[in-house]
């Protein structure tokens, strides 16, 4: 009889209870795949005695002493699905230093202080797995970490937050504004009561840091990620995008960029952007996630699936549990953090982006020349100019005293583009700038 691999489960909310359920339902299969049964040694929760429905687990396993549970000698693997920086960091560092394998879904902690976890793992000779931290059920970190290790990843572009994708998809489908779409998302359970982490891009930025670290073999933290949320995206922006054959998505982008001296650097950012409707990411609707990877030899790859929810996240957690349990039985450890490339992370101003700018301008001769002059002064080259119907005034193009100019630029440093828009806002022939959005995906 092979002795079981014993798990400490930290957290028993939506994900944790699905982990418990799957461990129970699939126990025979999991044991066959691992070569030993899995057993729950204990479950740390905030409060005891809570009604946990029909969770198939002995009530005696629950404890409020997470650290005590982690330290127990009969615990082999620690599964953390609590989230947040502390106290999770303390528990996991303790576990890893003691040589216990850790499986975590904690993107905030990994993005903020992954270095502490990796250091503890190295110290204890322990495995640290975190597939569930990015894009829920989608196997993504393992492909980046292992399958693409013979290749050179140039760019990762992802939709990694389901809440904002639901909101933007709704805005695109119905013409609703942000507030209305957020309300719908909240009513349907896609947005939390406090949606800040999602709509302001914090969640996506944490995931961007994790993806960039793996893709570029470089430590990237949440603080390195330029972050803009979707609260400023208007129905007018969505309509502008539609007129361009585009849709708006909150993208996380991690890209290699050469600096002024041609040296390789990395830029990581989260912001709303227009992408062409023909781009594979454009059709990722509802709360789905997808990550588009461009690699030197592999070319374009896309990974698509459910990015959140109890069962999908639990699937990723259990995949990692099987892996670390097998490693323990085999007495081996997965390759540790790969950060050898150590590329400098450059600020947003140096990222190469393209802008879509709508301007309400005075409808008189010389306006286009003046506007084009501003772009030229900042070294920004214009790709297309379209004179559309007038903006706020409601008057037809050329018929009244206002006109609308829609300008799409070629690629330029983001700082030059931002400065261009800033100067345009100050021109007195420019009445207003109703929409400024970055354009991604080769539109």
Residue 319 in marked binding region:
no
Q: Is the dihedral angle over the CA atoms 84, 88, 90, 93 positive or is it negative? A: negative
In the bound state with its own copies, the residue whose beta carbon lies nearer, of 327 and 353, is 327
User: Which among 49, 86, 50, 39 is positioned nearest to 66, based on CA atoms?
Assistant: 86
Residue pair 128/96 in contact (Cβ under 8 Å)? The answer is yes
265, β-bridge pairs? 257
Q: Is the peptide bond before 87 cis (omega within 30 degrees of 0)?
A: yes
Burial 79-95 (b: 16+ CB within 10 A, else e): bbbbbeeeebbebbbbb
In the bound state with its own copies, the residue whose beta carbon lies nearer, of 333 and 354, is 333
- Tell me the closest approach of the beta carbon of residue 221 to its own copies, in angstroms: 21
In the bound state with its own copies, the residue whose beta carbon lies nearer, of 16 and 312, is 312
Between helix 162-174 and helix 178-187 the angle, nearest 10°, is 120
- Tell me the closest approach of the beta carbon of residue 237 to its own copies, in angstroms: 25
Residue 15 in marked binding region:
yes
Residue 252 in marked binding region:
no
Q: Which of 71, 100, 207, 249 is catalytic?
A: 207
- Tell me the closest approach of the beta carbon of residue 440 to its own copies, in angstroms: 18
Q: Is 263 a catalytic residue?
A: no
Q: Give the three-class secondary structure for 123.
A: helix
Residue pair 79/101 in contact (Cβ under 8 Å)? The answer is no
In the bound state with its own copies, the residue whose beta carbon lies nearer, of 176 and 303, is 303
- List interacting residues with its own copies (CB under 8 A): 18, 22, 26, 29-30, 32-33, 131, 137-139, 142-143, 146-152, 217, 280, 283, 295-306, 309, 311-312, 314-323, 326, 330, 332-333, 335, 338, 340-341
Q: How far apart are the first and last CA of the chain?
A: 61
- Tell me the closest approach of the beta carbon of residue 302 to its own copies, in angstroms: 4
Residue 90 in marked binding region:
no
Residue 423 in marked binding region:
no
Catalytic residues: 207
Query: Binding site, residues?
Result: 10-17, 107, 192
Query: Binding site for NADPH, residues?
Result: 107
Query: Binding site for L-homoserine, residues?
Result: 192
């Amino acid at each position: 009889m092979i002795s079981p691999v014993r798990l400490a489960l930290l957290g028993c909310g939506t994900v944790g209870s699905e982990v418990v359920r799957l461990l129970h339902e699939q126990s025979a299969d999991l044991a066959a795949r691992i070569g030993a049964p899995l057993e729950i040694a204990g479950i740390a929760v905030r409060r005891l005695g809570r009604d946990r429905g029909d969770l198939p687990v002995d009530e005696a396993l629950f404890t409020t002493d997470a650290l005590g549970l982690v330290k127990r000698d009969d615990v082999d693997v620690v599964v953390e699905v609590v989230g947040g920086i502390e106290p999770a960091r303390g528990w996991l560092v303790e576990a890893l230093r003691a040589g216990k394998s850790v499986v975590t879904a904690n993107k905030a902690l990994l993005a903020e202080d992954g270095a502490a976890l990796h250091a503890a793992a190295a110290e204890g000779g322990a495995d640290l797995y975190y597939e569930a931290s990015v894009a829920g059920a989608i196997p993504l970190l393992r492909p980046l970490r292992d399958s693409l290790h013979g290749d050179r990843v140039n760019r990762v572009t992802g939709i990694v937050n389901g809440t904002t994708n639901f909101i933007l998809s709704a805005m695109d489908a119905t013409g609703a504004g942000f507030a209305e779409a957020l309300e719908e998302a909240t009513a349907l359970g896609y947005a939390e009561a406090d949606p800040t982490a999602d709509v302001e891009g914090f969640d996506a930025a944490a995931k961007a840091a994790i993806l960039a670290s793996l893709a570029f073999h470089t430590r990237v933290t949440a603080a390195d990620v330029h972050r803009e949320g979707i609260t400023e995206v208007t129905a007018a922006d969505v309509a502008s995008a539609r007129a361009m054959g585009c849709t708006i998505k909150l993208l996380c982008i991690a890209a290699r960029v050469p600096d002024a001296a041609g040296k390789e650097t990395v830029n990581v950012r989260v912001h709303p952007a227009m992408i062409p409707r023909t781009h594979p990411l454009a059709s990722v609707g509802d709360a789905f996630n997808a990550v588009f990877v461009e690699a030197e030899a592999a070319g374009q790859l896309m990974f698509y699936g459910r990015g959140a929810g109890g069962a999908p996240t639990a699937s990723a957690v259990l995949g990692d549990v099987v892996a670390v349990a097998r490693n323990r039985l085999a007495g081996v450890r997965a390759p540790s953090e790969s950060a050898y490339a150590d590329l400098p992370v450059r600020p947003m101003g140096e990222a190469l982006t393209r802008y879509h700018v709508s301007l309400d301008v005075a409808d008189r001769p010389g306006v286009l020349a003046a506007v084009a002059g501003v772009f030229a002064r900042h070294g920004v080259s214009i790709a297309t100019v379209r004179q559309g119907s007038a903006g706020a005034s409601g008057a037809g193009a050329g018929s009244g005293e206002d006109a609308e100019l829609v300008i799409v630029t070629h690629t330029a440093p983001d700082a030059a583009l931002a400065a261009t828009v800033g100067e345009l806002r100050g021109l007195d022939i420019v009445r207003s700038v109703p929409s400024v959005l970055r354009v991604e995906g080769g539109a």
